[in-house]
Amino acid sequence: MSRVYRSANPNHIFKDRSEIEEHLLAKVGGNAGGKIGTELELFVTSPEGRPITFDQVEMVLEHFAGQFPQAKAAFEKGRIVALNIPGVGDVSLEPGGQVELSTKPCANMAELEQTNRAMRAALENTAAFLDLRVKGQGHMPSFLDADDMPRSRFAAYCGYLRGQHGEKADHLIDTMKSCCGLQVNVDPMGNDFHEIYRALMLVDVAHSLSQRTERQGRLHETYAKLVPDQMVPVFEALEANSNETLIAHAVDRLLKLKIPFMPDAAAAEGFKSTASVFGATPSVGELLARGALTTEILDNALTLQLTMPNLRRHGVVETRAPDSPDTVEDLMKTAKIYHDRAYDAQSRRQLLQDFSGIDPAALKAAFLARFDEPREALFARDLGNGKTVADLVQTIEGAKPAPVAKPRPAMALRSQMKQRNG
C-alpha cells in the first residue's frame, strides 16, 4: 500500500537502544489507523509461460500508464522502472520482471476491491494488447531463468548476497526472481498495536502452516535458512501485553539486521552500498555502536525486513504469508481475513484469548518443521493450553483441516527446540 511518510529529522543520530524504541513507538502511537491496502506481485509472461525481457516490461509499464492520464513514471538511467498513479496506487518492477500492483491506502474493503479491480483490469488490458499473459501464483519455475532486471538496488542487493553467501546466494536470487506473493497492509491503532501485531502474526503463521506451497518451500529453503533474522517471525512477541514490550522484541531482531544499502540523494536510485561507506556491510546494532545510525538509515532498514508481519517506516504493518492469488475475488477473501483481525476488536481479542496460553517455542517449532513432516503430524502438534496446529488453522481459515494423529506434547517440542538451537 502506497503511503507518504516524512521523517521529522532524517539526520538525527541515535545514541542508544531506548531512542530506537521511542522512535518506533511514535510510529504506531500517533497513528489513527483504519486503512487497508494490498501489494500484489504478478507474473507477466509470454504465451508459452516464459519470462519477458526488460524491454517488454518497459512496454508493459508504458501501456499501463496510458490508461491513467494522471500516471507519473519513475525512471532510472532513462528507462521506466515504476509508475505512480495518484488516487490509485503504484506499479513497480520486481527482480525477475514480475509486476507489483500496490494500492493506495483504502478506507474500507469496498474501496480496496474497486482499486484492485481497476489496476488488475489495466494490467490485463495491457497484456492482451501485447499478446502476453498474467498469472497470479506463488512460484513459476520458468522464472528461475529470468534475466536480472537492470535496477541499481537489485544489483546492489545481489552483490551483497554474493559477497555474504558465495555460491549459495544464487539460490536466494533465484527465489527472488521466481516467486510472487500477496501482502496485505494495515495501519496499527495506538494502544491496540500490540494486539493487532500478535493477531496478524497468528494469521500469517496459520497460512504458512496450512498452505505449505512451493513458493513458501523455496523461501524456507533459501531465505529462512540463510537469513533467519529477516524471515522467521518474532514469536517471542506473542506474549507481549503492551506496545512497549512488543517493540522491545522487535528491536532485539532489528539490531541484528544487516543493511546492504543506505539512502543517498546523489545516487541514481537514491541509495548507495553501505560497504562502500563503512568498509563492510554493518548491522543496525553495529551502526548504533559506532554512532552512525541515523533516522533515515534506520527507517530504510525497516523496509529490508521480511518477517511476518513487519512494521514499516511509514507506520504500516505489512503481512506477507499468502501466495499471489489469480483473481481479485480470491485476493479479497484473503484481505478480509487480515482486515477483520486488525479492525474488528471483538474478533481479534477472541482470537488472542483463545490462543493466549500457547507456547511461542512450540509454535516456532511447528513453523520451522512444516516442510519436514506429513500434514497430519504437523497439524497434530500440541501448542500448549489444549490447542493444536489444526485448531489454529481452523480458527483462522474457517475450514476444518484434514484428520490428524495424536498430539505431541509441547514440552517435547521445547526440548527439541533446545537441541536444535544448541
Here the cell at position 188 is: 496499527
pLDDT at 177 over 90: yes
> What proportion of the chain, given as a percentage, has pLDDT over 90?
67
How large is the average pLDDT for residues 151-163?
82
Task: Give residue 300's pLDDT.
Answer: 87
Query: What residues contact 22, with CB distance under 8 A and at least 6 apart?
Result: none
Task: Give residue 228's pLDDT.
Answer: 81
Here the cell at position 267 is: 545516487
Render pLDDT for 338-361 as a digit per residue (tens, 0 to 9): 999 999 999 999 999 999 999 999
Of residues 260 and 240, more confidence is placed in 240
| Residue 309: cis peptide before it, omega within 30 degrees of 0 | yes
Task: Give residue 100's pLDDT.
Answer: 97
Domain 17-347 classification at class level = alpha beta
Render pLDDT for 96-129 as a digit per residue (tens, 0 to 9): 999 999 999 999 999 999 999 999 999 999 999 9
Task: Give residue 229's pLDDT.
Answer: 75
DSSP secondary structure, 52-106, as one string: PPHHHHHHHHHHHHTT-TT-EEEEETTEEEEEEETTTEEEEE-TTS-EEEEEPPB
CA distances from 261 to 145, 156, 239, 337 (A): 26, 7, 33, 34
Q: How confident is the model at residue 420 (pLDDT cuts 50, 70, 90)?
A: very low
pLDDT at 15 over 70: yes
Which range (131-140, 300-309, 364-373) has the least confidence?
A: 300-309
Among 106, 303, 342, CA closest to 202 = 342
Render pLDDT for 39-93 as a digit per residue (tens, 0 to 9): 999 999 999 999 999 999 999 999 999 999 999 999 988 889 999 999 999 999 9
pLDDT at 191 over 80: yes
Of residues 256 and 32, more confidence is placed in 256
Task: Give residue 42's pLDDT.
Answer: 98
Q: Can you say how many angstroms the Cα of residue 417 is from the centroid of all Cα atoms in its chain?
A: 25
Query: What residues contact 221, with CB distance under 8 A and at least 6 apart?
Result: 171, 371
d(CA 363, CA 96): 33
Render pLDDT for 382-410 as a digit per residue (tens, 0 to 9): 999 999 999 999 999 875 544 443 433 43
Of residues 129 and 304, more confidence is placed in 129
Of residues 116 and 307, more confidence is placed in 116
Whether residue 156 contacts residue 267, with contact meaning beta carbons closer than 8 Å, is answered with no
Task: Give residue 421's pLDDT.
Answer: 39
Helix axes 109-129, 328-343, angle to 10 degrees: 150
Among 42, 53, 129, CA closest to 94 = 42
Task: Give residue 6's pLDDT.
Answer: 44
pLDDT at 21 over 80: yes
What does the domain layout of the chain look like in residue ranges?
17-347, 357-421
Whether residue 166 contacts residue 306, with contact meaning beta carbons closer than 8 Å, is answered with no
DSSP code at position 151:
-
d(CA 150, CA 162): 17
- Cell 496485505 locates to 184
Task: Give residue 74's pLDDT.
Answer: 92
DSSP secondary structure, 6-31, as one string: --S-TTPBP-SHHHHHHHHHHHHHT-
Whether residue 205 contacts residue 321, with contact meaning beta carbons closer than 8 Å, is answered with yes
CA distances from 111 to 105, 125, 139, 341, 343 (A): 9, 21, 29, 18, 16
CA distances from 218 to 43, 134, 296 (A): 17, 22, 32
Given the DSSP bridges, would you call strands 387-388 and 382-384 parallel, antiparallel or unpaired? antiparallel
Average pLDDT value for the chain: 89
> What proportion of the chain, given as a percentage, has pLDDT over 70?
92
Whether residue 384 contacts residue 357, with contact meaning beta carbons closer than 8 Å, is answered with yes
Q: 3-state DSSP call for residue 352?
A: helix
**What is the residue type of 210?**
S
Among 149, 198, 178, CA closest to 319 = 198
Task: Give residue 264's pLDDT.
Answer: 80
Whether residue 203 contacts residue 341, with contact meaning beta carbons closer than 8 Å, is answered with yes
d(CA 80, CA 21): 38
How large is the average pLDDT for residues 187-213?
93
Task: Give residue 98's pLDDT.
Answer: 96
Among 208, 204, 232, 181, CA closest to 379 = 208
